[in-house]
């Protein structure tokens, strides 16, 4: 779904309830965009951008991919801010890590 020219970022959030938070995110965000499920991965395609929510053992991984910085930032914000709000009592914090830009090698 992503191409080599896409910018990508990832946030790995430790939680005792990754499946519950994934379900909450997909349910809430699914009102605006459609998510497809494949095992423990939920994926939404938004124009040329892609959002993924991956349930792991004790972690919830959020992934974002987009051809432009603005689109990537919007997906990061949508996934991250909602997860932090849903996980406020558990003090969940989302920290995004960007992959190197293919155009600059940074």
Task: Give the pLDDT of the chain (106 residues) as one tens digit per residue.
Answer: 445 688 999 999 999 999 999 999 999 999 999 999 999 999 999 989 999 999 999 999 999 999 999 999 999 999 999 999 999 999 999 999 998 655 544 4
pTM for the whole structure: 0.89
Q: Domains of the chain by range and CATH? A: 7-98 (3.30.310.50)
* Complete DSSP assignment for 35-59: EEEETTEEEEEETTEEEEEEE-SSE
Joined tokens for residue 69? 């910085």
Q: Classify the C-alpha dihedral 64-70-75-77 as positive or negative.
A: positive
Note the pLDDT of residue 4: 62
Give the Cα separation of 92 and 95 in Å (integer): 10
CA nearest neighbour of 41 among 58, 21, 61: 61
Note the pLDDT of residue 94: 97
């Amino acid at each position: 779904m992503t191409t080599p020219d896409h910018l990508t970022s990832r946030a790995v959030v430790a939680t005792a309830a990754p499946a519950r938070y994934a379900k909450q995110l997909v349910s809430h965000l699914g009102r605006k965009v459609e998510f497809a499920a494949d095992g423990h991965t939920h994926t939404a395609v938004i124009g040329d951008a892609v959002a993924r929510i991956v349930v792991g053992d004790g972690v919830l991984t959020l992934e974002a991919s987009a051809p432009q910085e603005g689109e990537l930032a919007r997906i990061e914000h949508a996934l991250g801010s909602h997860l932090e709000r849903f996980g406020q009592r558990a003090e969940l914090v989302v920290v995004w890590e960007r992959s190197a830009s293919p155009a600059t090698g940074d």
